[in-house]
Structure 1
Amino acid sequence: MGPVSAKADVRRAARVRRRGLAADLDREAAAEAIATTVLRIVPAGARTAAYLSLPEEPPTGRLVDALLEAGHEVIVPITLGDFTLEWTYAAHGAVADVARVARGTVPEGTAVLGPEALATCGLIVVPGLVVDTRGARLGQGGGCYDRALRHRRPGTPVVALLHEGEESEELLPLEAHDQLVDGYVTTSGRLVWLRGEPPG
């Protein structure tokens, strides 16, 4: 079985697992735990890339607000129709616009910063369904973040958010274009660093 087929099998299983984990999650407690942990590792004064979580993902609304309250500039992605990530400024209280995600367009009047905006960030927070012990991350299958992360500065830490129980002790299938993450934060606030030393 090739890596593409193997990924599809792992992804299907991960989605089923996530539905169960999300259904049982105390979202308020998880949101606070994620925010508290990520704030500890954000470099002082750094612009941070985050994302607006969808209903079954680890919640990021409190994280975005906490970063803004701490004086960090935060950028969040808009997924375009070709699965390119465009970046825009986050605002307090922002939530994911599911219709916009499905439509794949930039709303009129939105300030866009370009895909290369990741090069200005000191920390990048990404979604994922599962992460293994070497930092391989499996996403939803569009390749958005694997392409986007090529724009980051060398050495900029990348952290995935996971539900507790979504890390994998078995190595995930990898393709040449796959980008590794440096660590992950779980919905209990647990930080696991996989590559080098965590910042902060």
Structure 2
Amino acid sequence: MSAAPKHDLRHAARARRRALAAQTDADGREAAAQAIAEAVLGFVPDPGRVAVYESLPDEPPTGRLVEALLEAGHEVIVPVVLDDFSLEWRYAVRGAAADEATVRRPGRGGRSVGVDERRDWLGTDAIATCDLVVTPGLSVDSHGTRLGQGGGCYDRALQHRDPGAPVVTLLHEGEQSTTDLPADPHDVPVDGYVTTTGRVVRLR
């Protein structure tokens, strides 16, 4: 698959997302955070381990989701983006935000991490122990093809997951694709998505 169609789709999806974020006030964002938390909790009725990500300001908010999972007795792990765009995992911290807690590739606004801090990280294969994986994404189509940010982080990470653990993507309402998204052989389909209105769509 040529990179051009995905590049164009990402460009359009990011512009749409920025516009949605600009139109959403604090009350709307809080309502979205609560709707996402309630919807995702339905995927894991029994205490288990859940992989979530720390959302950026224009992404569907995950802070309340992390809190709700912890309050319900689940163990929550979140990714750290390493220099090679692989994901290592650590335990979630209440109230953390992606721009403060996620390690970015050097030159892309990241911060350095000391040996003592990394001692508590869980490794790149910790996702294999999760009962649910919640991923970011710009769009998802009816086949479960997910349009990511282009780094391939999650497609590589999902190779380590338990095949029995569902994978769901969080989207703003309206970001789901009504047409088939381009897919490469390495792309890993997701099992469904949850929108900021709390709508749950199971695909696989």
Which bin holds the TM-score, normalised by the shorter protein?
Answer: over 0.9
Maintained 8 Å contact 2:78/2:91 = yes
Q: Is 1:155 aligned to residue 164 of structure 2?
A: yes
CA contact (8 A) 2:142 2:178 kept: yes
Q: TM-score, normalised by structure 1?
A: 0.93
Residues 88-146 of structure 1, C-alpha deviations (whole Å, 9 max, x = no match): 00022222135733327545424111111011000000000000000000111000000
**Change beyond 3 A, Cα 1:158–1:178:** same
Offset at 1:42? 1.3
2:90 maps to 1:88: yes
Counterpart residue identity of residue 116, structure 1: D
1:13/1:32 Cα in 2 relative to 1: closer, same or farther (>3 Å)? same
* 1:109 aligned residue: 117
The 1:122/1:179 distance shift into structure 2, 3 A limit, reads: same
- Counterpart secondary structure, 2:59: coil
Distance in 2 (CA, whole Å) between partners of 1:104 and 1:182 is 33
Residue 133 of structure 1 pairs with residue 155 of structure 2: no
- In structure 2, C-alpha distance between the alignment counterparts of 1:42 and 1:83, rounded to whole Å: 28
Q: Which residue of 1 aligns with 2:9?
A: 10
Q: Secondary structure at the match of 2:98?
A: coil
Segments of structure 2 that go 5 or more residues without pairing to the other structure are none
Task: Percent identity, please.
Answer: 62
Contact 1:43–1:122 (CA under 8 A) maintained in structure 2? no
Secondary structure of 2:48's partner? coil
Q: Does the CA contact (< 8 Å) of 2:82 and 2:103 recur in 1?
A: no
| Residue type of the alignment partner of 2:201 | V
- Amino acid of the residue matched to residue 151 of structure 1? H
Aligned to 1:100: 103
Structure 2 residue matching 1:160: 3-state secondary structure:
strand
Q: Secondary structure at the match of 1:10?
A: helix
Q: Which runs of 5+ in 1 are unaligned?
A: 196-200
| 1:1-200 map, 5 Å | 2-25=1-24, 26-98=28-100, 100-101=103-104, 102-103=109-110, 105-107=112-114, 108-110=116-118, 111-195=120-204
CA displacement at 1:166 relative to structure 2: 0.3
**Conserved 8 A contact 2:78-2:89:** yes
Shift of 1:43: 4.1
8 Å Cα contact 1:132-1:172 kept in structure 2? yes
Do 1:83 and 1:144's aligned partners in 2 also have CA atoms closer than 8 Å?
A: yes
Relative distance call for 1:193 and 1:105 in structure 2 (3 A) is farther
Instruction: Letter of the 2:121 partner, please give it.
Output: V
- Over the aligned positions, Cα root-mean-square deviation in angstroms equals 1.4
Tell me which residue corresponds to 1:198: none
* Alpha-carbon contact 1:80-1:106 (below 8 Å) kept: no
Between Structure 1 and Structure 2, how many residues are aligned?
194
Q: Under a length normalisation based on structure 2, what TM-score does the superposition of the two structures give? A: 0.91
Deviations 1:76-97 (A, max 9, x none): 0000111000100002222213
